[in-house]
Amino acid sequence: MNIAVIGAGIAGLSAAYDLLDAGNSVTIYEANGYSGGLAAGFRDENWQWPLEHYYHHLFRQDKAIINLVREIGMQDELFWPRPITSVIHDGRIVPFDSPKAWITYPGFNLVDVARFGLVSAYLRFTNPWKELEKQTADVWLRRWYGDKIYDTVWKPLLIGKFGPHYQEANMAWMWARLHVRSPRLGYFRGGFQSFVDSLVSAVESRGGRIALESPVRAVESLADGTLSLSLEGDHDVVDQCLVTTSPALFSRIADQLPGEYLGKLNDLKSMGAVVLVLALKAQLMKETYWLNMPAKSHDKKGDDIPFLALVEHTNYIDRKYYGGDHIVYCGDYVVPDHEYFDMSDQQLESLFVSPLTRINRDFSTSWIRKSWVFRTRYAQPVPEVNHSQNIPDLRTPIKNLFFASMSQVYPWDRGTNYAVEIGRKAASMMIEG
């Protein structure tokens, strides 16, 4: 078959890899000038390795991507450091990523430690997600962890992740996060961009074509069951098409979809992501890789620190690969129409940098050698109660048209592992016909 894949992110590339192996002809159309989607990287002239636009790592249980890494011969390029994740307690940075850290956490007494450990173990080692999706995380976590632990640990995380939707996200989402986490986090030599490059090479070596800067304006079903793709000044007619864009974009380019399916697409909620990347001349945090910020205000205006996570990448990956720079991400999830998307890069940098003296009193803007800002309006789905009943099928009602997005990997959270998994699942359905 002649097949089109719209989107050269990890899902689209993974699907193309399998479709080509099955003997099909595949063209991937990508609106951006690069492949990799949210996992793509950039490189400063001083660096040996590229760096992701948005911070990335793998967990030990990410079997889908690990298996694909083996298939394309990259297994020796994947390694597993053990970084430190911390929280802020009474103005101090405190590790919070292991049973030992929970026991010594100054905000817990022995009863809190026991309760936290028991409930977390239940979520980690059982599989009750179908029941958990019937309740919001806000209600379930408060009930079983208690007010103190919920208000200290989980509520700030939910507010930071989902903003005004924090009381809508279901508990299956939280279960999925805790169920697969591992203390050691996987990373590629050369960054995730090296994985992207290897996957692109695997696709191209099998005869696949990747057309960059080629946005698809419309997908139309023809009378004979083929599909017509409208491009800028051109068109393509294919036997099958897989779309891996956001639900909102898919609903715009495929307006022949029946109302019920379009309704499911348009009802899906999601958060955008905004990241400031700093190349610093000095270390910001002593050991911590990932610092979760306390969040009380769903619109960020009432918080001392106006973003969700402070990630010092070079406390995880040796800074020798980045020309000696200390690499720091200031990252946040916000609603797609949040003012952060309208700010200039300079305004956002000023806002995010100003509170860093709370993290290190010696910090000065003179430490900043260089900075970058990255933004995307589709980065984190919001899974509501009974979300499994609301997910659009991968096989759309239009014959030979398929859709695979991070909004459909549920109950799992978005990430490169599940992008691989859903891309290959869609490819399998397309091969079966």
pLDDT digits (tens, 9 = 90+) for 264-279: 999 999 999 999 999 9
Cα–Cα distance between 349 and 334 in angstroms, integer? 16
What local confidence, expressed as pLDDT, does residue 352 receive?
97
What's the whole-number mean pLDDT along residues 131-159? 96
Cα–Cα distance measured from residue 61 to residue 223, given in angstroms and rounded to the nearest whole number: 45
- Structure confidence at residue 201 (pLDDT): 98
- Per the CB < 8 A criterion, the answer to whether 232 and 215 are in contact is yes
Classify the C-alpha dihedral 120-108-102-91 as positive or negative.
positive
Tokens 């790592």 belong to residue: 57
Give the pLDDT of residue 63.
97
Structure tokens at 422: 């859903």
Q: What is the pLDDT of residue 303?
A: 84
Between 288 and 414, the higher pLDDT residue: 288
Among residues 419, 418, 424, the alpha carbon closest in space to that of 176 is found at 418
Ramachandran angles phi, psi of 242, nearest 5°: -115, 125
Contacts of 196-199 with C-beta under 8 Å, sequence gap 24+, read: 196/10, 196/13, 196/35, 196/36, 196/39, 196/40, 196/41, 198/72, 198/73, 198/74, 198/77, 199/10, 199/13, 199/14, 199/17, 199/68, 199/72
| Rounded Cα gap, residues 155 and 78, in angstroms | 34
Domain 2-77+190-268+388-432 CATH (choose: 3.50.50.60, 3.30.750.24, 3.60.21.10, 3.40.50.10800): 3.50.50.60
pLDDT at residue 295, rounded to an integer: 84
Is residue 51 over pLDDT 90?
A: yes
Omega before residue 411 within 30° of 0, cis: yes
Angle, CA 349 vertex, CA 321 and CA 311 arms, to 5°: 45
Does pLDDT of 42 surpass 90? yes
Q: To which H or E segment does residue 101 belong?
A: helix 99-104
pTM (predicted TM-score)? 0.95
Distance CA 242, CA 26 (A): 10
Measured distance CA(384)–CA(172) in Å, rounded: 9
d(C-alpha 381, C-alpha 262), whole Å: 17
